[in-house]
Every structure is written in C-alpha cells, then in structure tokens.
Chain A
Amino acid sequence: MLREIERDELEPLATGAWILGAGGGGSPYLSYLNARNLYQQGKRVNLMDPRGLDDDDLVAVVSNMGAPLVGQERLSDPAFSAKPLRMMEDYLGRKFRAVMSVEIGGGNAFQSLLVSAVTGLPMVDADAMGRAFPEAQMTSFAIAGLPMFPLTLADIRDNEVIVARAASWKWMERISRKACTEVGSIAATCKAPRSGREVKEHGILDTTTKAIRIGRVVREARRRHEDPVAALLEAESGVLVFKGKIHDLQRRATEGFLRGKAQVEGLGEDRGSTFELEFQNEFAAGWRDGEVVVTTPDIICVMDSVSGEAIGTESIRYGQRVSVVALPSPDQLLTPQGLDHVGPRAFGYDFDYKTVFQAVKA
C-alpha cells in the first residue's frame, strides 16, 4: 500500500494543488522547490493508501500555517516543518505511523511531503479539506466533531508552543492564530493527531493522487498546445462558469485574511456579461450579472485562459484573461454540518450554498 512518489510527479503536484487551492493556500512553487532540492539530495517519499492504515495507527496532521503573502518572502524551510511533529511525539509519548497534510490546496499539499522526506515517515494520500480553506474549523475532521487538541507549533527561531486543550475548533483556531501571528504570521504546526480509523472514516481520501492527476492533465494539454482549461473540465467533471478579462480589482490584507473582489468582463460567449468574484483567501462566491451562481465549498478556480495555470487571490491582476471554473466539492463538505462549517454563511454571507452542478447533494 506504499508507492514512491517519482521526481517527475512533483511539478504536476504543484500545478494540481494550486488549482485545488481555489485561489488560496499560497502558491506551492517554493514548497515544490524545497521538495525538488530534497529529491536532489537523495531523499524519497512514500505515498500510502489511507486504507492501509490500521485503526489504531497514529497519524500526524501537519500544516504550514499563516498568511500566504508572508510566505512569499519568508520562505518555507523543511528543517522547521518537522519540528512540531517531534514535539507532538514527545508530548504524547507515542510515535507517528505516517503523516498527512491538513489541506491539499496550495502550498500545504507539500507540507506532508516535506515532513515525510525529512522524517522518513510515509505520507498518507489524504487531507482534511480536499481544497484550501483559511481556518482550523474548516476541515472534515472538525465537521465530523473529532477532538481538536493538542496542537504543536514551532517557528524559525527557538519558539515552541503546545496548545494542550481548546474548548472548540474555533477556540483552537483563535489561540493558534494568535501564536502564529506573534511569531511572524508563518509557523509550522502539527494539528490534533488522528487515528488510522479517523483518517479512513473522516479524511478526504486520495487527494494527493488527485492533485497529481489534475496537474498532469493540464500540463499535458499545454505541452500539446491544446486547451488546458477544457482538458481539466473534462477530466474532473468541472464546469466553465465564465470567461473574460479582469477589469476591476479590490484587495486588502486584514487580520491574516486577504479579502477582496475581482470583476471579470465577459469575452467570447460571455461578452456583454459581468462576473464578480469575492474572496477571503480563497474565492468564496461568484455573481453573474448581479445574481449569485456559485459559492463555497464548490472549488472556484480562476485560471489563466491560455496556460491553464491557477491564479491566486494574491496574484490576480488587472487585464488577465481568465477562465472561472468550478470543480465539485468533496461530499463531506456538502452535508448540513459540512455547510455549517464551510458554506457561504460560515464566511459571513446571508445566503445558502449555490452550486453550478446539477445534482445538489446538500
């Protein structure tokens, strides 16, 4: 139930993870460079099918927590990524069997891979979001009501934090976010440890494989001078929501969130229409000519119409020719509890989940 991740899967993983980030999670590029360096040094990562976990195996859930914009100048370093995992082992007095990422979207797709390369532990082919989200309570584990503590956090200096208990997922988010902000808005964390059974029952499975697959489809279409956006839609049952040019943009960094709006002026079949996107790190909702047509947790991606490269909410800019695409949300996020945690109301909107997919599972 283990297979080695090949060197030539790292770039597709970066491409795919950036698409699954729905505009957030931070560009995986720098983490990809770290992975490439580790592979050049002879390190290797084994990907583990989560179904191969024993029920009582202990799995570390790691993440690089913080503001993606800060991560662009304070670059992630695998030497620090594994620190919280060791802290957690010391704290629990138990050893981990494997490691997984909290989110497959954006740079964190590589966090478990980097920790895996450094520690030699296998990396579980699963995450707890199936995309990217900004906060701790926005995970399939939180939706399932699993315990949220303890949490360990380390920075690049000699600061280590253990949150021994928290009253709720939101309290865990608040306390750990404060610590993270204090050490420079970037910190390596190890979230509440999970049993093999919890991962199998409540994790979002096979997402590393999915990200690599998506990256390959897009890169292959690009190589053949075919339409990478169309290739993605076909391979992943996605929907093209709108095509056009960015013609207005408002963006502000507040309290660890990158919030704003992007307006797309229609081109081709969408000429004459306007599409408005709002984002809170990730793209949260989209309006066509004033009417909301798609919301979180559908995976709303903005892609360069030519290259098929994902465009993040921090890198979107005036004049870009873009395709707004929706990919289906993982089922776990579409239950009533799921939508409580990650639906539009969880982001402060006063409307319910809207999807572009025919079969609404909610």
Chain B
Amino acid sequence: MKRIGIDVGGTNTDAVLIEGGRVLRGIKTPTTEDVTSGVRKALAEVLQGDGALAASIDAVMIGTTHFTNAVVQRRGLNRVGALRIGLPASASLPPFVDWPEDLAGLVCGEVAMVEGGHEYDGRPIVPLDRQAIRDAAKRIADDGLTAIYGS
C-alpha cells in the first residue's frame, strides 16, 4: 500500500511517500499563505511528475493545524451559508446559535431554514419545500458565498 503523508507546519510543508512502513521519499517546501498551493507543490514534488506512481497511490493524508489556528486567531476564516431542512422543528435554535459571538460574526453567512426533513424513524416531518431551497440557494449565491453546510 502506497500512501502520501503531508504535514502543513507554520513554516514548512513536509511530504513523504510511504510504502508499507518504509519512507521512500521525503521533501520539504515552504508553507504558503493559502495552504492549498503549498500542498499542491509538495504533492507535485514528492511525485516528481511520475504519472504511473500517482495512479498507484492508495491514500493521501493531510495534517494541518491551520484550521485550529484560524479559529483560535480568528484569521483567514471564510463565511459560509447554512441550510437547515427540518422546519417546523427546531426553529428557535438556528444554526450558529451557540457559537461565540465574534466567531459567528466572521463565519456566519446567509442562514436558511426550510420545511422538510425526517423523524428518527424515517417518516417525513412535513413535505420538503423545494421552492424554499431554491430561494435559499439564490440568497446564498447573492450573498457571494461559495461554501454552504447542511445543518
């Protein structure tokens, strides 16, 4: 089994190619502001343009504290939209309700709650309101959001 492990640190992004328990290759490249391009570069370097090798990789693991750092430092966070399907249940506790206020202020985009969803036993709560989802999607797009999570 061939795997690539990538560790995104504060300064460097390290990548290793592992087969079984053996490290076949290891490289180091500077961590970039956006994280992703540094990860891409590390991947490209560890693979050395070998298409056959790339195709034989079973898994890529990426470890980074960037998410935790972003939350702790309140930096580099993206706004996301939230869509919850489940009305008329749960209306009084909308998405983000128990987030710290400053963090919610940075992350919370358009929040939509629409009718639908299911009981624990699989029966629908009420019929799914497809039009409300279309409307919510439009509002979320108009808000300029590129990410959305289902609540």
Contact = CB atoms under 8 A, between A and B. Distances in A.
B90 A33 contact: no
B120 A37 contact: no
Given A70-B120, A184-B120, A157 B93 contact: no
A74 B93 contact: no
A163 interface: no
B82 to A, nearest CB: 14
A37 B89 contact: no
A157 B119 contact: no
B90 A75 contact: yes
A156 B120 contact: no
A77 interface: yes
A76 B97 CA distance: 13
In terms of DSSP, what is the predominant structure of the interface of chain A?
loop
Given A33-B98, A184-B125, A77 B92 contact: yes
B24 interface: no
Nearest to A34: B92
Contact of B92 (A73, A75, A185): A75
Contacts of B93: 30, 33-34, 37, 75, 77
B109 interface: no
Interface string A64-83: 00010110011111110000
B63 interface: no
Contacts of A70: 119-120
A77 B92 CA distance: 5
Category for how many chain A residues contact B: 10 to 19
A37 B126 contact: no
A77 B89 contact: yes
Nearest to B88: A156
Contacts of B125: 74, 156-157, 184
Contacts of B123: 184
Interface string A155-176: 0110000000000000000000
B81 interface: no
B126 A157 contact: yes
Contacts of B120: 67, 69-70, 73-74, 184-185
Contacts of A30: 93
A102 B72 CA distance: 42
Nearest to A114: B92
A79 B91 contact: yes
A33 B123 CA distance: 27
Interface in B72-131: 86, 88-93, 97-98, 119-121, 123, 125-126
Given A157-B126, A184-B119, A184-B125, A74 B92 contact: no
A77 B90 contact: yes
A75 B91 CA distance: 8
B45 to A, nearest CB: 40
B136 to A, nearest CB: 19
A77 to B, nearest CB: 4
Contact of B89 (A33, A67, A69, A75): A75
Given A73-B120, A184-B120, A37 B97 contact: yes
Nearest to B86: A74
Contact of A37 (B86, B90, B92, B119): B92
Interface in A42-59: none
Contacts of A76: 92
A255 B97 CA distance: 32
A74 B89 contact: yes
Contacts of A67: 120
A79 B90 CA distance: 10
A79 B87 CA distance: 13
A260 B106 CA distance: 43
Interface in A12-64: 30, 33-34, 37
Given A33-B98, A185-B120, A78 B92 contact: yes
Identify the 8 closest CB pairs spanning chains A and B, nearest first: A75-B90, A77-B92, A184-B119, A74-B89, A75-B93, A156-B88, A70-B120, A156-B89
Given A70-B120, A74-B86, A157-B125, 8 more contacts: A30-B93, A33-B98, A67-B120, A75-B89, A77-B92, A156-B88, A157-B88, A184-B123
Interface of A: 30, 33-34, 37, 67, 69-70, 73-79, 156-157, 184-185
